[in-house]
């Protein structure tokens, strides 16, 4: 399995054209299920805010939500309602 991760890391770095510090550790953690995974719901919340051109604070105010809650949604700690 470790050889497989090294091979994947090498292919990713070849595509990037540079060595990516921490890549092997990140791949190992992802394979072990450590860390957060980005969900489609997170992307939708983040994209909606970015398309609006608003900061997290301004967007949170616009949708009457605490900015900490919006950050949690965008970072995957909690799921937005309806997600």
pLDDT recorded at residue 43: 81
Answer for the pair 8, 1: CB distance below 8 angstroms, yes or no: no
Q: What is the pLDDT of residues 47-73, one digit of tens each?
A: 999 999 999 999 999 999 999 999 888
Residue 83 has pLDDT above 70, yes or no: no
Give the per-residue pLDDT at 76. Answer: 75
- Check: CB of residue 47 under 8 Å from CB of residue 38: no
77 pLDDT more than 60: yes
φ/ψ (deg, to 5) at 29: -65, -40
pLDDT of residue 58: 94
Q: Give the predicted TM-score (pTM) of the model.
A: 0.52
Domain ranges, ordered by start, for the chain? 2-32, 40-75
């Amino acid at each position: 399995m470790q050889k497989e991760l090294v091979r994947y890391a090498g292919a990713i770095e070849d595509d990037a054209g540079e060595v990516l510090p921490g890549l092997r550790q990140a791949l190992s953690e992802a394979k072990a299920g450590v860390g957060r995974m980005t969900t489609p719901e997170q992307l939708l919340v983040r994209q909606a805010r970015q398309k609006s051109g608003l900061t997290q604070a301004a967007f949170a105010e616009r949708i009457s939500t605490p900015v900490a809650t919006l950050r949690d949604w965008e970072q995957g700690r909690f799921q937005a309602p309806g997600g």
